[in-house]
Amino acid sequence: MTDQAPAPYAGPERVLSGVQPTGDLHLGNYLGALVKFARLQHEIPTFIFVADMHAITVWQEPAKLKQQVREIAAAYLATGLDPKVATIFAQSAVPEHAELAWVFNCVARLGWLDRMTQFKDKAGKHKERESVGLYTYPVLQAADILVYKATKVPVGDDQKQHLELTRDIAQKFNNDFSAPGYFPLPEPLTQGPGARVMSLRDGTAKMSKSDPSDNSRINLTDDADAISQKVRKARTDPDPLPETMEGLEGRAEAKNLVTIYAALAGQSEAQVLAEFAGQGFGAFKPKLADLAVSVMGPIGGEMRRLLADPAEIDRILADGASRARELAAPTVAEVKKLVGYWAG
Ligand code: ADP
Ligand code: TRP
């Protein structure tokens, strides 16, 4: 007898992603995630949520959390997500995420979670003091994705491992419950020069909300002056730009600025070098600052305008949640049957 490959998932393509409401969004979030959301919504049905359940895996001030959710929603809208096209909602408004996450907690293996580098990075030396939620965080992420049977997940490079875990969970669930092809095996969408934007102060560290230096990142809410200042102060080296990317090996900060320019201009890094080869950072930085201001400046302004009308944001999120639930509820009902739960 030969083993037959299990039937693959045969349902429709769907895009899903989310961002945690845990601080100001920056250029890395924008290029690694948000710009892709706006682009994809016109190609494939797109579901984008604010991950407030993930946020509380580390302490969040309860009085501030709702406003933090609105800020991320405003960033989604300001970067071009259209609530009539994409489904935009808060994770905690769709309880099916948590229901599916419990089942997945029983599918995922401890050994799989032990390998997660994001947990190791966040927990540092004192993992016994972290919440259990921080440890099972990637299991909830798998539920976020699979409750909509999403097939494509636009994220930055740092999320690839969580997507591998999501595929492992989907495969084991399909196998364990004799449901071949029930869940898809979703793919991360990380292409493009913005998948890993580095700190402006240290070209070997990821640009991150949690970096204590505000000069390490360009925030979505920075005004034109702040953006230009940060680009001007960015760490570089005294050498001129080379003709090819190979010439940037060992020059992490220089490489990062070229990558950022390319991503913001919608060009390849090679095109950027073709234009600037031979020039030093004294010439390149003002061009990069102008470009960053022209792309990022209007986003901050639009966010402030949207946040002045929180009732409108709340209405958009409520509408998104009810559309999301229409899709999530049947999945959870089917899963309950497959698992053999008492309550269906
Ligand atoms: P942070 O790491 O700043 O806390 P999040 O973990 O909330 O950001 O990430 C939200 C989204 O932005 C994810 O898709 C993540 O992969 C992406 N992202 C975060 N930092 C970067 C970066 N420096 N470059 C590219 N994408 C990033
Ligand atoms: N873990 C993601 C991050 O840190 C946020 C997230 C939660 C997510 N659930 C998701 C991203 C589902 C994509 C799909 O950025």
CATH of the domain at 232: 1.10.240.10
Amino acid identity of 147?
V
Minimal CA–CA distance to 208: which of 70, 76, 19, 15?
A: 19
Contact residues for 39 (Cβ-Cβ < 8 A; gap 6+):
none
pLDDT given for residue 265 in this prediction: 96
At 102-160, the pLDDT tens digits run: 999 999 999 999 999 999 999 998 899 999 999 999 999 999 999 999 999 999 999 99
* Mean pLDDT confidence for 83-101: 98
Q: Are residues 275 and 325 in the same domain?
A: no
- Does residue 2 lie within any of the structural domains? no
Q: Are residues 292 and 323 in the same domain?
A: no
Query: 25: Cβ below 6 Å to ligand 1?
Result: no
CATH number of residue 327's parent domain: 3.40.50.620
- Does residue 8 lie within any of the structural domains? no
Q: Are residues 275 and 150 in the same domain?
A: no
Q: Are residues 53 and 181 in the same domain?
A: yes
Backbone angles phi, psi at 60, to 5 degrees: -125, 135
Pocket test for ligand 2, best of 15, 25, 30, 54 (most atoms within 8 A of CB): 54
Among protein residues, the one with the nearest Cα to ligand 2's atom 3 is: 19
CB 299 within 8 A of CB 78: yes
- Does residue 24 lie within any of the structural domains? yes
Q: What mean pLDDT value characterizes the chain?
A: 96
Minimal CA–CA distance to 102: which of 302, 306, 336?
A: 336
Q: Are residues 152 and 218 in the same domain?
A: no
Ligand nearest to the CA of 139: 2
| Count of structural domains within the chain | 2
At CA 28, angle to CA 310 and CA 20, rounded to 5?
45
Minimal CA–CA distance to 310: which of 73, 17, 126?
A: 73
Query: 50: Cβ below 6 Å to ligand 2?
Result: no
Question: Could you give the CA distance from residue 255 to residue 242 in angstroms, rounded to a whole number?
Answer: 10
Ligand nearest to the CA of 53: 2
Question: Could you give the CA distance from residue 156 to residue 25 in angstroms, rounded to a whole number?
Answer: 13
206 is catalytic: yes
- For ligand 2, the distance from its centroid to the CA atom of residue 244, given in whole angstroms, is 34
Domain range for 158 is 15-195+310-339
Query: 57: Cβ below 6 Å to ligand 2?
Result: no
Alpha helices, DSSP H, located in 30-89: 35-40, 52-55, 62-78
CA distances from 249 to 12, 145, 148, 272 (A): 42, 37, 41, 16
Q: Are residues 228 and 283 in the same domain?
A: yes
* pLDDT higher than threshold 90 for residue 7: no
CB 30 within 8 A of CB 79: yes
* Mean pLDDT confidence for 162-183: 98
- Does residue 209 lie within any of the structural domains? no
The residue behind tokens 């929603």 is: 73
Q: Are residues 318 and 271 in the same domain?
A: no
Q: Are residues 144 and 160 in the same domain?
A: yes
pLDDT given for residue 2 in this prediction: 56
Catalytic-role residue among 66, 172, 209, 287: 209
Query: 196: Cβ below 6 Å to ligand 1?
Result: yes
- Does residue 264 lie within any of the structural domains? yes
Q: Are residues 163 and 278 in the same domain?
A: no
Pocket test for ligand 1, best of 34, 35, 56, 158 (most atoms within 8 A of CB): 158
The number of the ligand 2 atom at minimal distance from the alpha carbon of 20 is 5
The number of the ligand 1 atom at minimal distance from the alpha carbon of 20 is 7
Q: Are residues 29 and 107 in the same domain?
A: yes
- Does residue 207 lie within any of the structural domains? no
- For ligand 1, the distance from its centroid to the CA atom of residue 32, given in whole angstroms, is 7
- The pTM of this model reads 0.95
Q: Are residues 186 and 83 in the same domain?
A: yes
- Does residue 168 lie within any of the structural domains? yes
* Mean pLDDT confidence for 45-69: 98
- Does residue 344 lie within any of the structural domains? no
Among protein residues, the one with the nearest Cα to ligand 1's atom 11 is: 29
At 301-311, the pLDDT tens digits run: 999 999 999 99
Q: Are residues 175 and 68 in the same domain?
A: yes
Distance separating the N- and C-terminal Cα atoms of the chain: 37
Would you place residue 23 in the very low, low, confident or very high pLDDT band (cuts 50, 70, 90)? confident
